[in-house]
Chains A and B, each alone.
Chain A
Amino acid sequence: MKLERKTASNPFYTVMHPFDASYDIRFKGKGNAPASVVILAVLFLTTIFQRQNTGYIFNYNNLSDLNVFLQFATAILPFLLFVIANWIVAMLLNGTGRMRDIWIYTAYCLVPFILGNILGVLLSNVLVMEEPFASYAQVFGAGWSLVVLFIGLMVMHEYNFVRNVFSFACTVFVMFILLFAIMLVGSLASDFYNFVATIVREVLLRVS
């Protein structure tokens, strides 16, 4: 599928025309999956860029202490959680959106957020402490993303406004539950690993 200029397959068109684009993605199959993956990759790179290249005056990170895996998790995990949680909530609340469409549309919505962050980082390198415009750019980008996401999912799931607000609240709640479940499974897995490792060590000791 091609990235045509003035259709929903183009993320820039999507964030300018959320009503039309989300309808097209859901009901005309205009979404472009490879583009969404590229956006996520750019999001990951942007978080690193933001951490390492924000101007010194605004940057309170220890630059020599970068953990790429942690950055990857902070960039991608919230996205994954949101998409899965929203899909689960859609099933419960009779939303019509499919997983693939939610994924693509949510990824598209990240574009203003990414651009705002990049602009903020660039600005922060020429601004001083008394001029907090860099964070304005970031807040503006994030706000735009949120509005577009809200509109798009409303259209996609064929909700009205109130139902959509309720859906968002549920989504956040389910995200926390998922996070809790992940942590639970993780700690169980590590316990199980320790258990097996101990047995193996014990057996090896007895055998030799």
Chain B
Amino acid sequence: MKKYLIRSLCACAGLALFTLSSARVQAQSNFNSYTYDEWEESVAAPASYEPVMALNGFQIGSGPLNTPQDFFMDDNGHLYVADTGNNRILILDADLNLLETIETVQMNGEELPLTDIEGLYVTEEGVIYASQTSSNRILIIRDGSVESTIEKPVSNLISDDFIFSPTKVGVDMYGRAFVLSQGCYSGLLQFDTDGSFMGFFGANKVEATADVIFNYMWKSILSDKQRAAMTSILPIEYSNVDCSKDGFVYTSTVGTQLPKSQIKKLNPQGNNIYFGVGNEEINFGDEEFQYTRGAANYPSFIDVKVNENDFVFGIDLTSGRIFERDQEGELVAVFGGMGNQLGTFTTPVAVEVYGHRVYVLDRLKNNITIFEPTEYGSLVEEAICLYNEGLYPQSGELWGKVLDRNANSKLAYNGLGKVYAQEEEYTDALQYLRHSGDRYSYSRSFAKNRLVTVRAFGPVAIIGLIVVIVAVRVVLRIKRRAKK
């Protein structure tokens, strides 16, 4: 009897161990992870980011959140959450512990409640830019009191019936504010450090869809009066703005008609400089679309964030996924999705990064989700960083490791190929570059390889050719003499 007991105990322990270990091995996320191959078809890939936790207001210790619209992570790991429905700003640490709650601020000696805050930005000195959309102003808050405000600018660029309703705001390293105003199609409003209006900045262009071209043709025929009666075509307004440390302004656009350039990187002139290899416009989101009644559900980006290594994170409202791309527009990671489980969202509104962590705010679920990179995800990022710094052999080693974990990784093939090309091992380089689908790099390596081949065999071939020609002539002459 005792024997049986021990045996069954052992079996139980074994089973427990087995289930535990298998649970660790599986480590399955609640969403699919994938990447795209050369022909824009999705192929399986290991998870790059995994959800660590998702906390709601109770778990944070602030009481329930109510439709939070935006949050911002500063350099010290302090997360400022605009809890819009509750008229307050929460300050949390990087692990989402509540540090401070701001409900009112001092303004002209009076207590001002923080109503209807849709956008937040915090500078390095801890100055909070909070946009009050329905009050048509932006509060600049230093140490709990309003230092100044940004209100509807007076300028001949702006008509009298223009309604200044700021939603999102970004502040660059020089203290210039880039403001997004609802219903304003001329781009971002740019304000100087002293709050004076500098002009519009980087408007979206009208997309050349069939409708637009058709309208344009009609308008060239019609009279002015008829033209005025037609619907005017306006570019789509931006949905969010982020200022990177190196002085560029990133913008995201919701609801584009064509899946192109949803995320823009604007240089100081306000021009988009975010393009892929061969100056192609980047589709930041999914390449495969789902269709409802024949119309494609294109990706629709609600927020964008750039981390310290210049990786761009954009969050897509259509699929609930977060896309991470590098500066060449290559897909680094896809994670998240729509749903009710950990790591999925119903209405994501904002994304932030701190160190390696990614934070996502959900407006309807009223919670904040934290993602951390997996071993695979951090390998990929590290390899890209090393390559960009010019440390080719080291990055090659890492790309090898990435390839061990994901044979579908276009990035890894590309990285290894370029490393081999650097080391002038063109045969290997060509093989890897071919798998990566990067024809530009392939062409460059091919040209160099061709030169090497021609140099190696060229002299021999030419000498051989001369020898053959001479030999044929001699033989012919001898034959002719023999005939005589």
Contact = CB atoms under 8 A, between A and B. Distances in A.
B39 A128 contact: no
B439 A62 contact: no
B455 to A, nearest CB: 15
A126 interface: yes
B450 to A, nearest CB: 7
Nearest to B39: A62
A129 B440 contact: yes
A56 B39 contact: no
Contacts of B439: 56-57, 129
Interface stretch (B131-139, B261-269, B441-449): B441-449
Q: Chain B, interface size: which category? A: 10 to 19
B447 A128 contact: yes
Nearest to A125: B446
B434 A128 contact: no
A119 to B, nearest CB: 18
B442 A126 contact: no
Q: Which of A57, A62, A65 has the most CB of B within 10 A?
A: A57
Interface string B35-52: 000110000000000000
A57 B442 contact: yes
A79 B130 CA distance: 69
A128 B447 CA distance: 6
A56 B442 contact: yes
B109 to A, nearest CB: 69
Contacts of B446: 57, 128
B450 A126 contact: yes
Contacts of B447: 128, 130
A129 B440 CA distance: 7
Interface residues of A, number: 8
A182 to B, nearest CB: 25
A136 to B, nearest CB: 17
Contacts of B39: 62, 65
Contacts of B444: 128
Interface in B435-471: 439-440, 442-444, 446-447, 450
A130 B440 CA distance: 10
Contacts of B443: 57, 128-130
Contacts of A128: 443-444, 446-447, 450
Nearest to B447: A128
Interface in A119-137: 126, 128-130
Nearest to A62: B39
Contacts of B440: 129
A56 B450 CA distance: 14
A50 to B, nearest CB: 17
Interface string B13-44: 00000000000000000000000001100000
Contacts of B38: 62
Contacts of B434: 56
Interface in A126-155: 126, 128-130
A54 B447 CA distance: 16
Nearest to B453: A126
Interface in B418-439: 434, 439
A65 B40 CA distance: 14
Contacts of A62: 38-39
A129 B442 CA distance: 9
Contacts of B450: 126, 128
Contacts of B442: 56-57
Interface string A42-85: 00000000000000110000100100000000000000000000
Nearest to B454: A126
Nearest to A131: B447
A132 B97 CA distance: 62
Contacts of A57: 439, 442-443, 446
A62 B444 CA distance: 21
A144 to B, nearest CB: 29
A128 B434 CA distance: 14
B61 to A, nearest CB: 54
Nearest to B434: A56
B38 to A, nearest CB: 8
Contacts of A129: 439-440, 443
Q: Which of A65, A126, A129 has the most CB of B within 10 A?
A: A129
B354 to A, nearest CB: 41
Interface string A80-115: 000000000000000000000000000000000000
A56 B429 CA distance: 14
A128 B440 CA distance: 9
A130 B450 CA distance: 14
A130 to B, nearest CB: 8
B229 to A, nearest CB: 37
Contacts of A126: 450
A85 to B, nearest CB: 30
Contacts of A65: 39
Q: Which of B434, B439, B450 has the most CB of A within 10 A?
A: B439
A56 B433 CA distance: 11
Interface of B: 38-39, 434, 439-440, 442-444, 446-447, 450
Rank and list the top 6 A-B pairs by shortest CB-CB distance, nearest first: A129-B443, A128-B447, A128-B443, A57-B443, A62-B39, A128-B446
19 contacts: A56-B434, A56-B439, A56-B442, A57-B439, A57-B442, A57-B443, A57-B446, A62-B38, A62-B39, A65-B39, A126-B450, A128-B443, A128-B444, A128-B447, A128-B450, A129-B440, A129-B443, A130-B443, A130-B447
Given A128-B444, A128-B446, 8 more contacts: A56-B442, A57-B439, A57-B442, A57-B443, A62-B38, A65-B39, A126-B450, A129-B440
